[in-house]
Structure 1
């Protein structure tokens, strides 16, 4: 089964660090804003979108990655990773949450 990189990377940032993190990627790195939402800013990051997400009840930064596959359930078996449905709702997305051995969150989904 093929598993390949998705189109999104998310950095989950505590509330008190969010504005300065967005400013860093926009003003210092020079990334172009692709989309702005209430709690998230997406930047053009090569062929991907880098999302800086504001998380109210978070004390540290997390990096979340997206992986594409035809069968998310089979991919989860191949990865041998735990299912992490409690992380965030997946509205209208055919996929599931998991994590790697280091704790990096992975969204495994259909393209």
Structure 2
């Protein structure tokens, strides 16, 4: 079974990051829940919205998390490419993939 995860990430070019964080914090009014050097997490209903600074990126991307019991099987069901080179997964039972439009998806088992 595949269902929405707990995280959404907006990957933002370096030159737009501060403006984007300010927009979501000050104009939209989202509450920051975690801050790191290149990332700010906001409370987004039952989810967390991450605004991540990506130094060598020219356009903004949205990345979504999907929760599943079996990330390997989810890749097969979705018929999506394994893209684990995108970001380190550490000890997560997870895979990076993408949808037909190129939206990056994190398939993770909690």
TM-score, length of structure 2 as denominator length = 0.99
Q: Which residue of 2 aligns with 1:56?
A: 55
Number of paired residues? 110
Once the two structures are superposed, the pairs formed by residues 1-111 of structure 1 within 5 Å of their partners are: 2-111=1-110
Measure the CA separation in 2 of the matches of 1:85 and 1:27: 34
Report deviation, 1:49: 0.2
- Please give the root-mean-square deviation of Cα atoms over the aligned residues, in Å: 0.5
Report deviation, 1:3: 0.2
Measure the CA separation in 2 of the matches of 1:38 and 1:13: 14
| 1:85-105 Cα distance to aligned partner (Å, 9 max, x none) | 111110121100000000000
Give secondary structure in 2 for the equivalent of 1:86.
Answer: coil
List runs of 5+ in structure 1 lacking aligned partners: none
Measure the CA separation in 1 of the matches of 2:59 and 2:101: 15
| 1:52-100 Cα distance to aligned partner (Å, 9 max, x none) | 0000000000000000001000010000000101111101211000000
TM-score, length of structure 1 as denominator length = 0.98
